[in-house]
A and B are shown apart, each in its own frame.
Chain A
Amino acid sequence: MSATNRVRLAAGIAGAALIATVAPPATAQQEQPQPSKITVAYKAWENNLTPFTLTMGGLPTSHDLTNLVYDTLFWSQVKEDPEPWLAERADPSPDRRSWTVKLRPDVKWHDGMPFTAEDVKFTFEKMKNTTGGRYSHHVWEYPVFESAEVIDPLNVKLNFRDAAPTFKILPGGDLPMVPKHIWEPIGNPVTSTSTPSIGTGPYKLVEFVNGQRYRLEANTEYFKGKPKVDQIDVPIVTDAAAAFAALQTGQVDTVDRTVPPELYDQLSNQPGIRVVQSTRMESVHLHFNNTKDPLKDPVLRKGITLAIDNQALVDTVLLGHGRPGRDGWTHPDSPWADPDGKHEFDVARANRQLDEANYRRGEDGIRRSPAGQPLQFNITVAANEPQHQRAAQLISQQVEAIGVKMTVEAIDPATLRQRRGNLNYDSFITNLESHAHADPDALSFFFHSPVPNAPSAGAFGAYANPQFDQLVDSARRQIDNGERKRLLVEAQRIFAREAPALVLFYPDGNYAFRPSAYNGWVADTGHGILTKRSFIPGYEDERADAVSAGDSQSSPPWAAIGVVLGLAVVGGGLFVASQNRKRETYEAEEA
C-alpha cells in the first residue's frame, strides 16, 4: 500500500477512534427529581471570594458568589425595609447615631465556630481600616463608622459620626460579616488571596482553580434551613456567546448574565430553557467632565442631553429589553426616586437653548462656544463593553442634529480607569448596578462636589453645585425618611436641569436556566436569580415567573449522529484512497 493510502487508512481509523471518544459522556444531565448538583456559568474570576479580595484585577464583577458564602445583617439593600438576616432586629438611638443590633443565636461559621458580636465589631473595624475593597466606603463615609461595643455575645452597639437612619439598608444590608478568628492576624486583607473563605452563608467554597472555576457545597447547617442544591459548580466563562452556547447544549444549567437582547426570543422559545425577569437595577450612563470648558456650562450639557433619544437607544441597542433612563439619576424603582421624573427629549428646544446661549454654528455646521471653542468632544468607552460602544455611536449621530460633534473613543478598561481618575476625558459611558441605586446616599456619593476626603467624584465627572451639595448633605442627616425623600427629590430636579450626567437606559434583567436541572430560582430584586433566596426553603412563593413554559428536554440523537459521522469519515477516507490508487496507476508503466 502506498504511503498515501496508508495515511488515508490511518485517518479513517483515527476518525473512528475520534467518534468513540466523543460519544456522550455518562455524566450528562438527566431528569432528576431532586438535583444534587448544578452548573452555573460565571462572568469573571473573583479570586477567593472574600469581601476583601473579590475586586482585585478590577474587571467587572457581580459579587453573587460572595453573597452565597457570606451573610449580611439584613437582606437586602434594595428594599426600604430589608429582611432581618444575621440580625434579628436593630434599634436606633433617638438621634439615629447609634444602633443596637441583636443577632440570631444559632449561627455558625463554616468552620464550626460560633458567630458572635465580636465578629460584627471586628468586621466594621477591619473594613474601616482597609484601603481598597468594594465594601469599605459604607463604613468610611456613608455613614461614617466610629466605634462598636460588644454588649454580650449576641448584642452589639454600633456608633456613627452622623445620623444613620438608613443603617439597615446600608451598611446593614450590604456589609458581609467576616470571621474575626480568620482575619484578625492578616495584615493587608486586600491582597491575601490564599486566606480561606469562611463565611456564614448557605454555601461553602470548597475548591477553586485560578481563573477557571469554583466549587461550592451546601452548608447543611445553615440557620435558615438546608439549601436545596447540594453542590454548585461554577466555571468561569468570560465569553458571553460561549456561555449561552453552553446553556443551549446543556453543558451549564444557568448563566449568571442577563440574556442578550438578540438571544431573548430564541432562548425563550427553546424547549428545555426558561427565561425569567429579575432586575439588577443596572444602569448605563453618560458622564460629562464638569470641570472642562465648555462642558462646565450646564446649559450646554442640558442641550446635549435634550438631543439624546433614550427610547431610541433602548429600541436599538437593547431591542426593547429595557427602560429609558431618567434625567434625575435615581432608578425609578428606588424608594427615593422622584415620582415625576422622566427624560426630556426635545431637539428643537435644545437648538433654541443653545442659540440663546450664544453657541453659534460655524461654517461646518458645528457650533462654537462663546469663547470660540468648537463643540467637538470624545465619548470614551471601555473596549470590552460592546453595548456602551454601540450606544455611544448612536448618541454621536443623534447630537449632530444640534451641531455638536461627538466621536467615539474605545480604550481598554485600565486606561479608562486612569483617565477617569485624572479627569482626562470629555465624556464617558459606564454602568452601575443595584447597589448604586438602592443607596439613598448615591447622589451625594457620586455627585457631591469634591472636598478633601470625599469620594473621588472626579471618577464621575466632578460636578460641583453648592445648592445641590446642601440638599444632599442635609438629606444625609435626616432621621425622617419622608423629609429625606423630599430633599433628595429636589436634588434630583437640580440634577435633571443641569445634567452633569445622563442615565441612558436601564437594561432588563432576564435570566435563563434549565428547569430540568433546577427550578427553584427566585427573582431577588437587585440581585438577579443567583441569590441565597433561590436555594433556601421558605421563598417558594417568590419563584420567578417564567416567561416561557417549556419543560420537555429533547436531547439530540447522540449515537445516531456519531455513527453517521464516523461512517462518513471512514467511508470518505476509503473512497478517496481508492480514487488515488486509480490515479496513481503508474504512467511509469507506459514509460
Chain B
Amino acid sequence: MSRRQSPGKILGRVGLVLLAVPALAAVFAPLTARHSPTRPSARPLLKPSLGHPLGTDDLGIDIFAQLIYGSRISLAIGLGAAVLAVVVGLTVALVAGWRRGWAETVLMRLTDVTLAFPFLPLVLVLAAFFGRGLIVTALVIGAVTWARPARVLWAQVLKLREYPHVQAARAMGATGTRCVVRHILTRLTPVTSAQFVRVANAAVISEAALAFLGLGDPNQASWGIMLANASSNNALLTGAWKWWMVPPGLALTLVVLGFAFTGYASEEWADPRLASTGRLRFLSSRRRRPSPAATAAAVETPDPGPILSVRDLVVHYDRQGPAVVKGVSFDVERERVTALVGESGSGKSTIVLALLGLLPGDPLVEGEATFEGRKLLRAAAAARVRGRQVGFVTQAAMNALNPAYTIHFQVSEAAALTMPQEEARRRATDLLETVGLPASDHGAYPHELSGGMRQRVVIAMALANKPDLLIADEPTTGLDLVTQAAILHLLGDLKDRLGLTVLLITHDVQMVMRVADEIVILQDGCVVEQGAVDTVVADPQQDYTRRLLNTRLSPLTVKV
C-alpha cells in the first residue's frame, strides 16, 4: 500500500504543528501561565495541584509558568543562532562559490578548520569564557555552527553555477550581485531552509546541554535551566522528576522534533528524489527455483504460435489516475524481430515494464498477457521468467550497470541464477567475448567503459540464461551512429545464431526499417497500426503511421 503523499509532506505538516504549540505558548505566555516564572508563588517543592499543575520548584516558583515562558527562550535561541549561522554560511558560500579563486580557497579552508573542531567542547569553552545571557548564547552557538551550512551551500552554488541559464548569463557578462541574487539565491532556498532548520535544532539542544552543564544563565527560566535545577535538586531521586524534568524534557523533544520534521520536509523539497513514494514490488520478491514443470516445459518443443501474446492491456500508473496504456493487443512471433514504435510518451516502455512486473508504485494492470502458455500478469509469474526465459536489454548510457561491481561479476551474477557459480563465471567470460569485449576488459568497472561497450555488457547480461525472448528497450539511443550500427549488427548476429525472438522498443523508425520484421505502432497508449514491416512501410493505412514514417532518411540505409 503506497501513500499518495510522501513522508516529507506528512511530516512537514506535523512538524509545523509541533512548532506552533511552543510558538503560541511563547506568544501568549502571560495569558496561559497564571503565576510568575521568576518569582516564588508558593512553598518550595510542592507536588502538582490545581493551583500549580506542575508543582513548584526549589524556590517555590510555579513550574508550569516556567515551562510556558521557557518556550520563548528556547525558540529565541534556536532561531537566533540559526539566523546567524545561515546568514554567515550563506555569505561565505556565495562569495566562495561565485568568485572562486583565492577567496574560495581561503574561505573553504576556514570552513574546514571550523568543521574540524568538535562542536561541544568549543561551545563549552566559548560559553565559559564569554559569559551567559540569551544573546551571548545564541552568538556562541551560531559562531560554531555556521561552517556546515557554508559547506553544503557552497557545493550547491558550484552546481547551480553550471546550469545552462546561469552559464548563459555569465557568458553575457552578468557577474554582479543582481545576477547572483536572481539566479542563485532563489534556487538555494530549499537547501538553505533545510540547513536553517538543522542549525535551529542543534541550537536548541546545545542551549539545554549548556544549561545542564551549569553554563546557562540562571536568570532565565529556559527548559535547559529547569532541567539543570531539577537535576541539582536530586529530582531523579525524590520522584519530582515526573513533573519537574519530564515536561521540559518533552517540551525540548517536541521543539526539536518539530524542527526535525520540518527539516525533513525541507530536504525533500530540496531533493525531490527523496519524495518518491513508489513502492518497488520487486524489492520483496523471493528467490525462486524454476519449478520442474517449467524446466520440463522449456525443454519440450515449443508449441507454435506467438511466444508472447498481449490482449487488451490497460495500465494505470496510479489506481486513481488515468490510463497510460489504453487497451493494447499484439503478438510477438517466434524467431522474428517485432518492433514497438511510438513517440516518447506513447507508453511503449510502460507496456514492457508492466509485462515484466517492474512498474513502481501501485499500478492498475488489466488485460491478459501470455508467454509460452503462461499468464504473465498473475501472481509472481513475471518474476519467474525475468532473466531466465525473458532477457531484458535497456538503454545503458549511464546507470543501467551498478558502478560498484565489475562487469564480469554482474554478468556472472545473472548466469548464477540457473547454474552453479563456477560454471556461471565461465559463462560470463564466454558471453562477454561473444559480445565483443576482450578478456582484458572483463575486470573493468562500468565507468571505465565507453557507452557502446556498456551496451554490449547489458546484452551479455540479458543472454546469460539463454532466454527465448529478448526485449530491447531503446538499445541504441544515446550512442553515436557508428556504435549504433555495431550494436544492431551484434543483435542481429545473436538473433540468428541463438534463435532469439526479439521485441524491440524504439522511436527510431530508421532502425525499425533496417532490422524489424513486424511493427506495432503506438500512439498515446493505443495501437494505431500493426503488421509486417514491409507491408506497413510500403502502404501505411493510418495518417499517424504515414507521418511517423516520413522522417528524414539517414544516410545509412543498408539493411542489416
Contacts and interface: CB of A to CB of B under 8 A. Distances in A.
Given A240-B234, A591-B382, A390 B58 contact: yes
Interface stretch (B178-186, B200-208, B281-289, B509-517): B281-289
A390 B128 CA distance: 20
Contacts of A410: 132, 217-218
B281 A241 contact: no
B557 interface: no
Contact of A588 (B60, B228, B231, B380): B380
A408 B231 CA distance: 20
A590 B377 CA distance: 9
A494 to B, nearest CB: 33
Given A262-B45, A588-B285, A591-B380, A408 B234 contact: no
Contacts of B553: none
Contacts of A481: none
A393 B132 contact: no
Interface stretch (A104-112, A381-389, A526-534): A381-389
A480 B357 CA distance: 108
A241 B228 CA distance: 12
Given A244-B234, A262-B45, A586 B284 contact: yes
Contacts of A317: 58-59
A407 B236 CA distance: 30
A244 B233 CA distance: 11
Contacts of A386: 228-229, 232-233
> Which of B132, B232, B383 has the most CB atoms of chain A within a 10 A radius of its CB?
B232
Contact of B218 (A316, A389, A394, A589): A389
A151 interface: no
A23 interface: no
Interface in A286-318: 316-317
B237 A248 contact: yes
A43 to B, nearest CB: 14
A91 interface: no
Interface string B213-248: 011011100000000110111101110100000000
Contact of B379 (A384, A584, A590): A590
Interface string A314-349: 001101000000000000000000000000000000
Contacts of B285: 586, 588
B128 A412 contact: yes
A502 B217 CA distance: 25
Interface in A19-60: none
Contacts of A587: 281, 284
Contact of A245 (B60, B236, B284): B236
A263 interface: yes
Contacts of B305: none
B98 to A, nearest CB: 42
Contact of A266 (B44, B228, B238): B238
Contacts of A408: 218-219
A588 B284 contact: yes
Contacts of B379: 589-591
A241 B212 CA distance: 13
B549 to A, nearest CB: 37
Interface string B30-61: 00000000111000110000000000001110
A319 to B, nearest CB: 7
B284 A319 contact: no
A397 interface: yes
Contacts of A415: 128
B229 to A, nearest CB: 7
A141 B44 CA distance: 45
Interface in A548-569: none
B121 to A, nearest CB: 15
A263 B237 contact: yes
Given A262-B58, A408-B219, A588-B281, A241 B237 contact: yes
Interface in A405-456: 407-408, 410-412, 415
A221 to B, nearest CB: 41
A241 B59 contact: no
B443 interface: no
A587 B2 CA distance: 12
A171 interface: no
A262 B281 contact: no
Contacts of B234: 240-241, 244, 260, 262-263
Interface residues of A, number: 33
Contact of A316 (B59, B229, B281): B59
Nearest to A312: B40
A394 to B, nearest CB: 6
Tell me the interface secondary structure of chain B in the complex. loop
B290 interface: no
Interface in A210-248: 240-241, 244-245, 248
Contacts of A319: 44-45
A247 B307 CA distance: 81
B131 interface: yes
Nearest to A588: B285
Interface in B468-490: none
A245 B282 CA distance: 54
Nearest to A266: B238
B218 A266 contact: no
A124 to B, nearest CB: 40
Contacts of A241: 231-232, 234, 236-237
Contacts of A588: 281-282, 284-286, 380, 383
A244 B238 CA distance: 11
Contacts of B238: 262-263, 266
A260 B232 CA distance: 9
Contacts of B233: 260, 262, 386
Contacts of A262: 45, 58, 233-234, 238, 240
A585 to B, nearest CB: 10
B59 A591 contact: no
Contacts of B45: 262, 319
B59 A393 contact: yes
Interface string B358-402: 000000000000000000000110110000000000000000000
B383 A245 contact: no
Residue from A266, A393, A415 having most chain B Cβ neighbours under 10 A: A393
Interface in B301-317: none
Given A260-B233, A591-B281, A384 B219 contact: no
B154 to A, nearest CB: 36
Contacts of B44: 316, 319
A579 to B, nearest CB: 16
Given A319-B44, A411-B131, A591-B382, A244 B218 contact: no
B383 A316 contact: no
B185 to A, nearest CB: 41
Nearest to B283: A588
B66 to A, nearest CB: 13
Contacts of A383: 214-215, 218
A556 to B, nearest CB: 16
B406 to A, nearest CB: 25
Contacts of A393: 38, 59, 218-219
A584 B284 contact: yes
A3 to B, nearest CB: 11
Given A319-B44, A591-B281, 6 more contacts: A262-B45, A316-B59, A390-B59, A408-B219, A412-B215, A586-B286
Interface of B: 38-40, 44-45, 58-60, 128, 131-132, 214-215, 217-219, 228-229, 231-234, 236-238, 240, 281-282, 284-286, 357, 379-380, 382-383
Interface of A: 240-241, 244-245, 248, 260, 262-263, 266, 316-317, 319, 383-384, 386, 389-390, 393-394, 397, 407-408, 410-412, 415, 584, 586-591
24 contacts: A241-B236, A241-B237, A245-B236, A262-B58, A263-B237, A317-B59, A386-B232, A386-B233, A389-B218, A393-B59, A393-B219, A394-B59, A397-B39, A397-B40, A408-B219, A410-B218, A586-B380, A587-B284, A588-B282, A588-B285, A588-B383, A591-B357, A591-B380, A591-B383
